[in-house]
Structure 1
Amino acid sequence: MKRALRIVLLIAVMFMVVFSAHHLLHSSAKQETNQETSQKASSTSSSKKDSSSTEDTTPSYMNKVNWRKSSENKAYPDLNKLSNVWIHVSIKNQRVYIKNGNKTVYTMYASTGIHNSTPRGTFHIQSERGNFFYNQSSGEGARYWVSFKDHGVYLFHTVPTDQYGKYNVKEADQLGKTAKSHGCVRLSIPDAKWFYNHIKEGTKVVIN
């Protein structure tokens, strides 16, 4: 009888050991699964953060950079209603700001001169302007040009063209991103056309 009881007890102990081991393994696997799920969620969250950090930061009032379009998504300002118009060219930002006193009334994407070739200082819009030019020595031309220094040397104008007036897409695509000109200030086609038609001779230009 005692022998039979011992056998029963031994079987019960073995059953408990096996059950405990199975429970521990199951818990460990579940924990590992939860950890993997947590890590995946964390990775997904991190990925979303990284993605959001590289999202386009174009201000809401600006169009995305496109040399064929105007820089802002609103109408150009009516300069006849403004009393103190002047131009600020930011070499650091590659932007041209149309100002009325201390207020910016329009922002334009721009490309200034490589190797700091755009002169810095205070200038004034000069009398020289035209629909098209081509410089044989540089192999570039442009449309809607307006002189601000040295009477036809330093200009505001469109992104560059060849001698036939065809736009250089590779150069144009750098508008608003990096300095690429030979010293002039490049603008998108619509911006340059508006500038040509509306910015008056004598308007102050500050470049820094």
Structure 2
Amino acid sequence: MKNKKIITAVIALIGSVMIGFVVFVVNSNNTHTVEAEQKSAKVVKKAKKTEKAKKLAEKKKILNEWKHPSEAKDYPDLNKHQNAYLEVSIPEQRVYVKDGKKTLYTMKAATGEKKSPTPKGTFEIQNRGDSFYNESSKEGANYWTSFKDWGVYLFHSVPTDKNGKYVESEAHKLGKRSSHGCVRLTIPDAKWINASVPDGMKVVVK
């Protein structure tokens, strides 16, 4: 009888221990599950934040492209390309610095609107200057370089107002026909042509 009570007590004790172990395992699993879910949520949140930051950076880059060179590489050394010329593509709204059939550099541009088109043909670099302002069109620009009619048709920066401030609404039109006939370029691209392209260089507009 005494042995039976001892056995019963041992069985009860073992049962209690087993129940406690099961409860511990369940709670432990629940804790790990919650921690895993929290970690997963943090990873997703971080990924969304990173993606949002990338989109904002890309949007900012697009909005500010007129302030930067068109390509992420150095402009060509024209001393090494004696036969280089400029090709303006109206359909593509690009200016190509070429040597024969090889394109050395590509610039995003904005040529004349349909009511004031950029003339097609073969021309050459003429005179140049730092800046201008046209009272009749209420528009100016920096780093102008003429290729036809000695100051009428130009390569130049995105437009400026009468105070010399860049007009951002117009600057964002690079890549679209939007000028009065000149070829608009980003500020650095216009500056490079103004400073580096020699008088007499061939200009082909097509």
The two structures have a TM-score, normalised by structure 2, of 0.68
2:92 matched to 1:122? Answer: no
- 2:189 alignment counterpart: 191
Tell me which protein shows more helix as a share of its residues. Answer: 2
2:139 matched to 1:140? Answer: yes
- Amino acid paired to 2:135: Q
CA deviations over 1:14-39 (Å, ceiling 9, x no partner): xxxxxxxxxxxxxxxxxxxxxxxxxx
- Amino acid paired to 1:67: W
Aligned residues: 145
- 2:99 alignment counterpart: 100
2:176 matched to 1:202? Answer: no
CA drift of 1:102 comes to 1.0
Question: What fraction of aligned residue pairs are identical, expressed as a percent?
Answer: 59
Distance 1:117 1:109 in 2: 17
Distance 1:162 1:122 in 2: 31
- Amino acid paired to 1:191: D
CA drift of 1:172 comes to 0.4
- Amino acid paired to 2:194: Y
CA drift of 1:101 comes to 1.2
CA drift of 1:164 comes to 1.2
SS at match of 1:192: helix
Distance 1:83 1:157 in 2: 23
- Amino acid paired to 2:180: H
- Amino acid paired to 1:151: W
- 1:82 alignment counterpart: 81
SS at match of 2:110: coil
SS at match of 1:194: helix
CA deviations over 1:30-87 (Å, ceiling 9, x no partner): xxxxxxxxxxxxxxxxxxxxxxxxxxxxxxxxx8571000000001111101121101
2:56 matched to 1:69? Answer: no
SS at match of 1:110: strand
Segments of 5+ residues of structure 1 without an aligned counterpart are: 1-62
- Amino acid paired to 2:123: F
The two structures have a TM-score, normalised by structure 1, of 0.67
- Amino acid paired to 2:70: S
Runs of 4+ in 1 over 2 A off after TM superposition: none
Segments of 5+ residues of structure 2 without an aligned counterpart are: 1-60
